[in-house]
């Protein structure tokens, strides 16, 4: 299969205190082609966050297989997973997850540091990424001096600075007002259309989901609708 993301019968079982087992995913199969913009929707507890963690190589499935760009990731070591996260995936979180008391520029540089990019090139690429999200003038501000929308734009710059193939956005507009949300979504959309980066977006707001070309609905650990 030449699909970019290929999930086959993914199961994820969490075991609480060693006895009670929680079934977060009960057999999820999904194919995503390169350059797609997919919105994942569903109520809380439907398994969408668990699915995102698996896609983001932050966790490994209990059963089933998952490949990203042809690489089987369900059985990799923590070091190999870290490398895939670093080179192929960018994250945008609901609560931004920037390093506090650290400048916007240094936050964006972080993935490049772990990719061993030399300092001068690191600086230049980070500045370019910030310019692309419209924060050229604020790159030396500390992250906690920025507004929510600005922080999320720094996070997007950080997600794309290493030129990933995939950006995972987990409720990126959850903490933002409507106008800022639209601004952020436009940047995400532009990344998808201009750079051909595959985007997977988790949201429960239908308005935000409309930015995507495809909507996948989760409930109780399985996909109930794909349109």
Q: Can you give the binding site for other proteins, defined by CB under 8 A?
A: 53, 56, 58-59, 78-79, 82-83, 85-87, 91, 93, 97-101, 110-111, 113-116, 119, 158, 162
**CA distances for 29 relative to 18, 75, 129, angstroms:** 27, 17, 34
**Whole-number minimum distance, CB 83 to other proteins, in Å?**
7
**Closer to other proteins by Cβ: residue 26 or 123:** 123
**Whole-number minimum distance, CB 214 to other proteins, in Å?**
25
**Closer to other proteins by Cβ: residue 3 or 94:** 94
Answer yes or no: are the C-beta atoms of 211 and 56 closer than 8 Å.
no
Spatial neighbors of 193 by CB under 8 A, at least 6 apart, are: none
**Closer to other proteins by Cβ: residue 156 or 209:** 156
How is the beta sheet containing 5-16 ordered, strand by strand? 20-32, 5-16, 63-68, 71-72
Q: How many CA atoms lie within 13 A of 168 on its CB side?
A: 21
**Whole-number minimum distance, CB 158 to other proteins, in Å?**
7
**Whole-number minimum distance, CB 197 to other proteins, in Å?**
16
**Closer to other proteins by Cβ: residue 52 or 223:** 52
Return left, alpha or beta for 27; rule: phi > 0 is left, psi -120 to 50 is alpha, else beta: left
Q: How far apart are CA 211 and CA 206, in angstroms?
A: 9
**Whole-number minimum distance, CB 77 to other proteins, in Å?**
10
**Closer to other proteins by Cβ: residue 57 or 139:** 57
């Amino acid at each position: 299969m030449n699909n970019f993301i290929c999930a086959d019968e993914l199961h994820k079982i969490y075991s609480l205190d060693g006895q009670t087992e929680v079934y977060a995913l009960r057999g999820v199969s999904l194919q995503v082609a390169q350059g797609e913009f997919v919105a994942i929707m569903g109520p809380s507890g439907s398994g969408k966050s668990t699915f995102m963690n698996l896609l983001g190589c932050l966790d490994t499935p209990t059963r089933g297989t998952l490949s990203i760009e042809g690489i089987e990731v369900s059985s990799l070591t923590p070091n190999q997973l870290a490398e895939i996260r670093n080179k192929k995936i960018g994250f945008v979180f609901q609560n931004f997850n920037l390093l506090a008391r650290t400048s916007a520029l240094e936050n964006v540089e972080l993935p490049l540091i772990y990719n061993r990019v030399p300092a001068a090139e690191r600086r230049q690429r980070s500045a370019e990424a910030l310019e692309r999200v419209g924060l050229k003038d604020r790159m030396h501000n500390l992250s906690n001096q920025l507004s929510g929308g600005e922080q999320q734009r720094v996070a997007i710059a950080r997600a794309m600075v290493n030129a990933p193939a995939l950006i995972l956005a987990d409720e990126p507009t959850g903490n933002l007002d409507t106008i800022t949300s639209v601004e952020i979504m436009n940047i995400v959309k532009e990344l998808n259309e201009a750079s051909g980066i595959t985007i997977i977006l988790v949201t429960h707001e239908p308005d935000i989901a409309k930015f995507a070309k495809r909507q996948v609905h989760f409930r109780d650990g399985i996909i109930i609708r794909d349109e």
